[in-house]
């Protein structure tokens, strides 16, 4: 599950590059490099993540993700949190950005968690949409995403995040709250229980999940530029299920209301086309 989703995430991150790549800001935290007059700065990044195996599960596992970003030399530094969706800005000012975004949501394979015996599997989902972010202060970023799911689910889902950002020479530190919201189609896909699933599983009763706030949480990250080419990012996130998701038998009897995520990423940047 994790590796197929990760591969698709990497494909989306590359496919998101617009035809006029000169206008593309990097949503990865870029590595400090010496200014050059021509060409591009390409950043390749690999990330290992430890979190729950799928939406609603209480079992944890390791997955991997790869990404690629491109920017012009001398382009102003842009903050990007590890849990941002893949995207690029169509409107890009120092204090405001707007553009398309996409995420990949992992599949639910009931064989990976025996507590979900009898539940239907849910394929991985692609969630294209749009993002907006602005900076009310230089060190405060507020970001929102609204997306619609395909394949795995067919609902609307949104994320709202705020980050306090501090840069210390080669190190960038960020921390801030997170909220995820979903409509009834999204929520019922992952937290609803059909009569057939309840009968097959034997541990839960039927449940129809409605739309609303799914979770609230906190995320933090530290990025350090070791050289002009290499950097590492360590990050952590905690999410607490609330509302319809928290009341679901999926969270109460099969999974958990508390979701922890930790990860470590390594990035390599190089000049191309000089």
Q: What is the pLDDT along the chain (274 residues), one digit of tens a residue?
A: 443 344 444 434 333 333 323 333 333 444 443 444 578 888 899 999 999 999 999 999 999 888 888 777 877 778 999 999 988 889 989 899 999 999 999 999 999 999 999 999 999 999 999 999 999 999 999 999 999 999 999 999 999 999 999 999 999 999 999 999 999 999 999 999 999 999 999 999 999 999 999 999 999 999 999 998 999 999 999 999 999 999 999 999 999 999 999 999 999 999 887 6
Asked whether 65 and 102 are in contact (CB, 8 A), the reply is: no
CA 42 to chain centre: 21
Listed in sequence order, the residues at least 6 apart from 16 whose beta carbon sits closer than 8 Å to its beta carbon are 86, 87, 88, 100, 102
Structural domains counted in the chain: 1
Given this model, what pLDDT does residue 245 score?
Answer: 98
Q: What are the tens digits of pLDDT across the range 174-184?
A: 999 999 999 99
Given this model, what pLDDT does residue 175 score?
Answer: 98
Q: What is the CATH number of the domain that holds 122?
A: 2.40.160.40
Structural domain that includes position 152 = 2-272
Angle subtended at Cα 233 by Cα 229 and Cα 237, rounded to the nearest 5 degrees: 165
Pairing of strands 86-87, 96-105: antiparallel
Q: What are the tens digits of pLDDT across the range 42-95?
A: 889 999 999 999 999 999 999 988 888 877 787 777 899 999 998 888 998 989
- How many angstroms separate the CA atoms of 202 and 16, rounded? 44
């Amino acid at each position: 599950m994790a590796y197929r989703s990760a591969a698709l995430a990497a494909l989306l991150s590359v496919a998101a590059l617009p035809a006029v790549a000169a206008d593309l800001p990097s949503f990865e935290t870029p590595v400090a490099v010496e200014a050059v007059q021509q060409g591009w700065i390409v950043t390749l990044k690999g990330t290992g993540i430890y979190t729950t195996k799928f939406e609603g599960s209480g079992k944890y596992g390791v997955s991997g993700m790869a990404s690629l970003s491109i920017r012009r030399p001398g382009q102003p530094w842009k903050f990007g949190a590890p849990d941002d969706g893949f995207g690029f800005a169509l409107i890009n000012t120092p204090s405001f950005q707007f553009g398309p975004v996409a995420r990949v949501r992992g599949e639910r394979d009931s064989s990976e968690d025996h507590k979900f015996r009898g539940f239907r599997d849910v394929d991985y989902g692609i969630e294209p949409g749009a993002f907006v972010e602005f900076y009310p202060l230089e060190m405060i970023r507020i970001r929102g995403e609204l997306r619609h799911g395909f394949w795995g689910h067919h609902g609307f889902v949104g994320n709202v995040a705020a980050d306090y950002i501090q840069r210390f020479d080669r190190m960038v530190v960020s921390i801030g709250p997170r909220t995820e919201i979903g409509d009834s189609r999204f929520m019922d896909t992952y937290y609803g229980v059909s009569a057939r699933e309840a009968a097959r599983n034997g541990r839960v009763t039927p449940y129809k999940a409605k739309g609303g706030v799914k979770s609230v949480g906190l995320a933090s990250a530290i990025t350090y530029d070791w050289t002009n080419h290499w950097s590492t990012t360590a990050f952590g996130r905690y999410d607490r299920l609330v509302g319809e998701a928290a009341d679901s038998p999926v969270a109460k009897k099969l999974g958990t209301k508390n979701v922890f995520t930790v990860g470590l990423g390594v990035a390599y940047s190089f000049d191309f086309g000089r």
